[in-house]
Structure formats: C-alpha cells, structure tokens
C-alpha cells in the first residue's frame, strides 16, 4: 500500500504469524553468469514460536516463494 521496499510486521494476540510483503523493485540480478534486469520482492514472516517451530515457518516461506515464482502450479491439481 505504501510501496515500502521492506517491512516488518508485529504479531498481535491472538495471531500466530503475519506475513509482511514489500514492493516489487527492479534490480540487476546474476543469471547464468550475466548481469540482467530482474525484479525482487522482500517478504518477512513474523512467527510466535510458542505456536510454530522456526523450521515450519521456513518451509512455509519456501512454499510461498515457489508459488510466487511459478504461479501456474496453483492451477495444477494436487489429487
């Protein structure tokens, strides 16, 4: 909403976790040994460790990253 590059969310009870998403930014990235234009978006997950283990939160973030990088997987049936 505010086009912040990075944000940190604060958990308020009774929340167990909250995901903060920053703005998409154009940056140079290395791809196959070459510097090319790319887009970067920072995400931060704040977690109440009394509810979730850090490893579980990391798995969740890896899944979110995979879905953002390949959104067509949302359309594929998991049956």
Could you tell me the CA-to-CA distances from 14 to 18, 33, 38, 51, 54 in Å, in that order?
11, 46, 38, 11, 18
Q: How many CA atoms lie within 13 A of 54 on its CB side?
A: 0
How far from chain centre, in Å, is Cα 31?
20
Active site residues: 49
């Amino acid at each position: 909403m505010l086009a912040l590059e990075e944000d940190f969310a604060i958990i308020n009870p009774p929340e167990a976790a909250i995901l903060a998403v920053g703005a998409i930014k154009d940056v140079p990235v290395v791809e196959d040994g070459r510097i090319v234009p790319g887009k970067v978006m920072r995400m931060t997950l704040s977690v109440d460790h009394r509810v979730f283990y850090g490893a579980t939160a990391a798995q969740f973030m890896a899944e979110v990253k995979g879905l953002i990088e390949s959104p067509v997987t949302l359309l594929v049936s998991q049956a």
